[in-house]
Amino acid sequence: MKINVWGINYAPELTGIAPYNTALCEHLAHHGHEVRMVTSFAYYPAWTKAREDRGRLFRTDELRGVPVHRCWHYVPRKANVLKRIIHEGTFVVSSFLRQLVLPPPDAYVVISPPLLLGAAAWLLGRIKRRPFLFHVQDLQPDAAAGLGMLKQGALVRALYWLEKFAYAKAARVSGITPGMLDAFRQKHVPPSKLVLFPNGVTLPDLSARPAVGSFRARHGFGANEFLLLYSGNLGVKQGLDVLIEAGRYLPAGIRIVICGEGAQRNHLAQLIQRNELRNVTMLPLQADAQYREMLVDADLCVITQQPGSGGFFFPSKLLTTLAWEKPVLTVADEESELVRALHEGSFGLNVSPGCPEKLARVLQFLNADREQLCAYAVAGRRYVERFEMKRVLGEFTQELNWVAAKPQIPNSKSQINSKLQNALPDSRSAVVLDLDLGISSVRCLRRMHDLNCRLRDDRDVRPQ
The CA distance from 276 to 283, in Å, is 17
- Could you give the percent of the chain with pLDDT greater than 70? 85
- Residue 258 Rama label (left phi>0; alpha psi -120 to 50; beta): beta
Assign 449 a pLDDT band (cuts: 50, 70, 90). Answer: very low
The CA distance from 11 to 1, in Å, is 23
The CA distance from 193 to 185, in Å, is 10
Report the chain's terminal Cα–Cα distance, integer Å.
Answer: 42
pLDDT at 452 over 60: no
Distant-in-sequence, close-in-space partners of 257: CB < 8 Å, separation ≥ 6: 221, 227, 228, 229, 230, 280, 281, 283, 294, 298
Which amino acid is it at 234? Answer: L
Q: Which fold has domain 206-387?
A: Rossmann fold (3.40.50)
CB 135 within 8 Å of CB 17: no
Residues 350-386: b if buried by 16+ CB within 10 A, e if exposed? bbebeebeebbebbeebbeeeeebeebbebbbebbee
> CA 239, 241, 244, 246: dihedral to nearest 10 degrees?
-80
Concatenating the DSSP letter of every residue in 227-249 gives EEEEEEE--GGG-THHHHHHHTT
Q: What is the pLDDT of residue 64?
A: 94
CB 18 within 8 Å of CB 316: no
Q: What is the pLDDT of residue 419?
A: 41
Q: Answer with the residue of higher pLDDT: 140 or 326.
A: 326
Q: What is the pLDDT of residue 142?
A: 79
The whole-number average pLDDT for the span 115-120 is 96
Q: What is the pLDDT of residue 458?
A: 44
Of 173-182, 287-296, 304-313, give the lowest mean pLDDT range: 304-313
3-state secondary structure of 259: strand
Q: What is the pLDDT of residue 313?
A: 72
Of 19-23, 301-305, 386-390, 433-437, give the lowest mean pLDDT range: 433-437
Concatenating the DSSP letter of every residue in 38-88 gives EEE---TTTT---GGGTT--EEEEEETTEEEEEE-----SS--HHHHHHHH
Domain spans, the chain: 2-200+391-413, 206-387
DSSP state of 262: S
Q: What is the pLDDT of residue 424?
A: 38
Give 195: exposed, middle or buried? Use CB within 10 Å, 0-12, 13-18, 19+: buried
Q: What is the pLDDT of residue 450?
A: 52
CB 67 within 8 Å of CB 36: yes
Q: What is the pLDDT of residue 149?
A: 64
The CA distance from 448 to 104, in Å, is 24
pLDDT digit string (tens) for 168-187?
Answer: 999 999 999 998 999 999 99
Q: What is the pLDDT of residue 166?
A: 96
- Could you give the percent of the chain with pLDDT greater than 90? 71
Distant-in-sequence, close-in-space partners of 154: CB < 8 Å, separation ≥ 6: none
Beta-sheet strands, E only, within 131-224: 132-136, 172-175, 194-196
Q: What is the pLDDT of residue 140?
A: 77
Q: What is the pLDDT of residue 150?
A: 64
pLDDT digit string (tens) for 59-104?
Answer: 999 999 999 999 999 999 887 888 989 999 999 999 999 999 999 9
The structure's pTM equals 0.80
CB 240 within 8 Å of CB 268: yes
Report the mean per-residue pLDDT for the chain. Answer: 87
Distances 176 to 182, 191, 338, 388 between C-alpha atoms, Å:
11, 15, 12, 14
Residue range 2-200+391-413 in CATH 3.40.50.2000: yes
